[in-house]
């Protein structure tokens, strides 16, 4: 298995930036943010975000605004009223209509330098594997573990950096995976937990968690900062607390246990 991560971003094309792009991204290029090289890496990168609801919507929006060259979004179903407390890419005029293409159309209005590709369903095993091989980072924002573990498996098998985002109530969490080196999602959840379809959640924590997931993706793709590989970040909005946990990789994990890093 080729270890994409061990090549330290070498798989990402590094195209030149036009003068218009340099003007567009001027406020995020400089000390403490991105280098010109980092911005070029974003331009040459492809990110997958699935789904693009409460967390994935803000995540995809942040990636598009930052200048990730291709953002692939996947989301099935139609917009319902109860989702509008947190799905920032939606609106009341889309109620009862398919979400994916509307979300993509909105994202395209935000940055003409970015290609947004829409998939109107959640990828199955085969499609997830194909998408993982096309992408430089995967942001998993589904509400259920079946999809999250599927995306984790596809990421591990392709060696693609993986960010898992979760939410409940006023709490959000992130897990950042470097396949072959850190714990994967199945190391943390060896058995699929029960799923409550209509769980309570506040839009503000969805947006905060999605934005933090995008920040990790931007760091991974650009080479800026320190990605939180091998950690779980928990944000307790109800009590105003944050916690960072070091995760231990399970050598017997059925997903990643047999992987050996070549770094």
Total number of domains constituting the chain: 1
Sheet with strand 70-74: strands edge to edge: 115-119, 70-74, 46-50, 137-140, 162-168, 171-177, 231-236, 241-246
pTM over 0.85: yes
Does residue 128 lie in a domain region? yes
Does residue 28 lie in a domain region? yes
Q: What is the CATH number of the domain that holds 22?
A: 3.40.50.720
Does residue 258 lie in a domain region? no
Distance CA 213, CA 59 (A): 6
pLDDT in tens, 102-114: 999 999 999 999 9
pLDDT value of position 198: 82
Helix 36-43 vs helix 203-222: crossing angle, to nearest 10: 110
Does residue 182 lie in a domain region? yes
Give the confidence band of 84 by pLDDT, cuts at 50, 70, 90.
Answer: very high
């Amino acid at each position: 298995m080729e270890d994409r991560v061990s090549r330290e971003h070498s798989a990402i094309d590094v195209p030149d930036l036009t003068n218009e792009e340099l003007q567009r991204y001027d406020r995020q290029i400089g000390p403490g943010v991105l280098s010109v090289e980092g911005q070029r890496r974003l331009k040459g990168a492809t990110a997958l975000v699935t789904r693009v609801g409460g967390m994935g919507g803000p995540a995809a929006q942040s990636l598009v605004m930052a200048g990730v060259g291709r953002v692939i979004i996947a989301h099935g179903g139609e917009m319902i009223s109860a989702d509008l407390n947190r799905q920032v890419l939606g609106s009341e005029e889309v109620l009862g209509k398919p979400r994916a293409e509307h979300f993509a159309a909105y994202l395209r209005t935000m940055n003409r330098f970015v290609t947004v590709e829409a998939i109107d369903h959640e990828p199955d095993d085969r499609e997830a594997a194909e998408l993982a091989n096309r992408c430089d980072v995967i942001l998993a924002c589904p509400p259920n573990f079946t999809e999250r573990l599927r995306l984790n498996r596809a990421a591990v098998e392709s060696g693609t950096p993986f960010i898992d985002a979760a939410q409940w109530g006023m709490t959000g969490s992130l897990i950042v995976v470097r396949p072959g080196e850190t714990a994967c999602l199945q190391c943390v959840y060896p058995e699929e937990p029960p799923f409550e379809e209509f769980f309570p959640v506040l839009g503000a924590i969805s947006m905060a968690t999605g934005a933090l997931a995008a920040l990790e993706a931007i760091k991974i793709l650009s080479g800026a900062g320190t990605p939180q590989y091998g950690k779980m970040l928990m944000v307790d909005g109800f009590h105003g607390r944050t916690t960072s946990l070091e995760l231990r990789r399970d050598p017997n994990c059925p997903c990643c246990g047999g992987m050996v890093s070549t770094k």
